[in-house]
Amino acid sequence: MVQQTFEGEVLTEPVVVEREFETVDMNINIGPQHPATHGVFRMVLTVDGEIVKDAIPYIGYMHRGGEKLSENLDYRGALGYQDRTDYLAAFNSEWVYVNAVERLAGIEIPERAEYVRLILAEFNRLLSHFMFMGAFGTDVGYFGTAFTWTFKERERIQDLFEAVCGDRIMYNYFRVGGLAWDPHETFIEDSHWVLDQVETGIGDVDDLMTNNEVFVARCRDVGVMSAEDAISYGVTGPMLRASGVPFDLRVDEPYSIYDRFHWEIPVGERGDVYDRYLVRLEEMRQSVTILRQALDQMPTSGPIMPERMPARLRPEPGEIYMRQENPRGEYGIYMVSDGTDQPWRVKMRSPCFHNLSSLKPQVINAYLADAVVALGSIDIVLCEVDR
Amino acid sequence: MTSRRTPAAPAEPTSNEPPPGSIADTYREVMPLVDFDAAMTKGDDVALTIPANSIHEVLERGRDDERLQMNLLRNQTAVDWEERGLEIVYHLYSIPLRQAVTIKAWLPSENPMVESVTDVYEMANWAERECREMFGIEFIGHPDPRNLLLDEDLDIHPLRKSHPLAPIEMEQGVDVEFFTKQHPPPEPVVEEEAVATTAAAPTRKRVEDMTEEERAARKAEQAERVARAREIAAKRRAERLAGAPPAGGPRKEGAAPPPRPTPAPAAAPAAEPAPARAAAPTADRPPAPPPPELPSIPDAEEDPEGRAAAQSERVRLGRELAAARRAQLRGE
Kindly report, residue by residue over A82-129, the tens digit of the pLDDT. Answer: 888 888 889 999 999 999 999 888 888 899 999 999 999 999 999 999
> How many structural domains does chain B have?
3
Instruction: Give the model confidence (pLDDT) of A15-38 as tens digits.
Output: 666 777 666 788 888 878 877 777
Quick check: A258 pLDDT over 70?
A: yes
B262 assigned to some structural domain? no
Chain B residue with the nearest C-alpha to that of A385? B149
- The residue of A305, A334, A349, A358 whose CB has the most chain B CBs within 10 angstroms, and thus the best one to mutate to test that interface, is A334
Q: Given an 8 Å threshold on Cβ–Cβ distance, is B41 in contact with A321? A: yes
Buried b (16+ CB within 10 A) or exposed e, A197-232: ebbebbebbbebbeebeebeebbeebbbbebebbbb
Chain A residues with beta carbon closer than 8 angstroms to that of B149: 59-60, 63, 386-387
Strands B113-115 and B138-140: parallel
Within 8 A by CB and 6+ apart from A130, the residues are A150, A151, A153, A154, A157, A201, A205, A284
Taking the CA of residue A298 and the nearest CA in chain B, the distance in Å comes to: 26
State the Cα–Cα distance between residues A185 and A191, nearest whole angstrom: 11
Chain B residues with beta carbon closer than 8 angstroms to that of A349: 74-75, 91
Residues B229 and B321 in one domain: no
Q: What is the CATH number of the domain that holds B56?
A: 3.30.460.80
Instruction: Give the model confidence (pLDDT) of A207-216 as tens digits.
Output: 888 888 888 8
B90 and B116 Cβ atoms separated by less than 8 Å: no
Q: Given an 8 Å threshold on Cβ–Cβ distance, is B43 in contact with A310? A: no
Angle at B270 between CA B182 and CA B266, to 5 degrees: 115
Domain that holds residue B111: 23-140
State the Cα–Cα distance between residues A76 and A180, nearest whole angstrom: 12
Taking the CA of residue A5 and the nearest CA in chain B, the distance in Å comes to: 58
Closest CB to A334 among B77, B126, B149: B77
Give the pLDDT of residue B93.
92
- Tell me the domain boundaries of chain A: 75-350
Q: Which of A161-175, A276-290, B26-40 has the lowest mean pLDDT?
A: B26-40
Q: Given an 8 Å threshold on Cβ–Cβ distance, is A68 in contact with B299? A: no
State the Cα–Cα distance between residues B211 and B207, nearest whole angstrom: 9
Chain A residues with beta carbon closer than 8 angstroms to that of B94: none
B18 assigned to some structural domain? no
Buried b (16+ CB within 10 A) or exposed e, A129-142: bbbbbbbbbbbbee
B136 assigned to some structural domain? yes
A364 and A54 Cβ atoms separated by less than 8 Å: yes
State the Cα–Cα distance between residues A338 and A360, nearest whole angstrom: 39
Residues B38 and B95 in one domain: yes
Give the pLDDT of residue A340.
81
Give the pLDDT of residue B280.
45
State the Cα–Cα distance between residues A144 and A136, nearest whole angstrom: 10
Give the pLDDT of residue A294.
92
Q: DSSP state, A222?
A: S
CB-facing half-sphere around the CA of B13: CA atoms within 13 A:
10
Closest CB to A349 among B75, B95, B151: B75
Q: Which residue has the higher pLDDT, A302 or B179?
A: A302
B6 assigned to some structural domain? no
Q: Given an 8 Å threshold on Cβ–Cβ distance, is B42 in contact with A103? A: yes
Q: Given an 8 Å threshold on Cβ–Cβ distance, is B72 in contact with A63? A: no
B49 assigned to some structural domain? yes
Angle at B77 between CA B73 and CA B82, to 5 degrees: 155
Residues B31 and B82 in one domain: yes
Task: For domain A75-350, give its CATH number from 3.40.309.10, 3.50.50.60, 1.10.645.10, 1.10.3720.10.
Answer: 1.10.645.10
How would residue A12 be classed by pLDDT, with cut points 50, 70 and 90?
low
Q: DSSP state, A210?
A: I
B17 assigned to some structural domain? no
- List the beta strands (DSSP E) in A126-283: 174-175, 178-179
Give the pLDDT of residue B3.
39
State the Cα–Cα distance between residues A104 and A119, nearest whole angstrom: 24
B307 assigned to some structural domain? yes
Quick check: A177 pLDDT over 60?
A: yes
H or E segment to which residue A331 belongs: strand A329-337
**ipTM confidence:** 0.85
Residues B43 and B134 in one domain: yes
Quick check: A355 pLDDT over 80?
A: yes
Chain A residue with the nearest C-alpha to that of B72? A231
Q: Which residue has the higher pLDDT, A321 or B266?
A: A321
Q: Exposed/middle/buried for B138, CB within 10 Å: 0-12, 13-18, 19+?
A: middle
Residues B175 and B230 in one domain: yes
Per-residue pLDDT of chain B (332 residues; tens, 9 = 90+): 333 454 554 444 445 677 777 888 888 888 888 888 888 888 888 888 898 888 888 898 888 888 888 889 999 999 988 888 889 999 999 988 888 999 999 999 888 889 899 999 989 999 999 999 889 898 888 888 888 888 777 777 888 887 777 655 555 544 444 444 454 445 555 445 555 545 444 455 666 677 888 888 878 887 887 788 788 777 777 776 776 544 444 444 444 444 444 444 444 444 444 444 444 444 566 676 676 777 777 777 778 788 888 888 888 888 888 888 778 777 76
State the Cα–Cα distance between residues B65 and B92, nearest whole angstrom: 14
Q: Given an 8 Å threshold on Cβ–Cβ distance, is B11 in contact with A341? A: no
Within 8 A by CB and 6+ apart from A298, the residues are A112, A115, A116, A119, A188
Give the pLDDT of residue B263.
45
Q: Given an 8 Å threshold on Cβ–Cβ distance, is B89 in contact with A229? A: no
B300 assigned to some structural domain? yes
How would residue A137 be classed by pLDDT, with cut points 50, 70 and 90?
confident
Give the count of beta carbons closer than 10 Å to the beta carbon of residue A98.
25
Q: Given an 8 Å threshold on Cβ–Cβ distance, is B300 in contact with A311? A: yes
Q: Estimate the crossing angle of helix A144-165 against helix A111-140, to 10 degrees.
A: 160
| CA distances, A278 to each of A38, A140, A141, A199 (Å) | 21, 15, 18, 16
Strands A318-326 and A178-179: unpaired
Taking the CA of residue A117 and the nearest CA in chain B, the distance in Å comes to: 20
Give the pLDDT of residue B269.
42
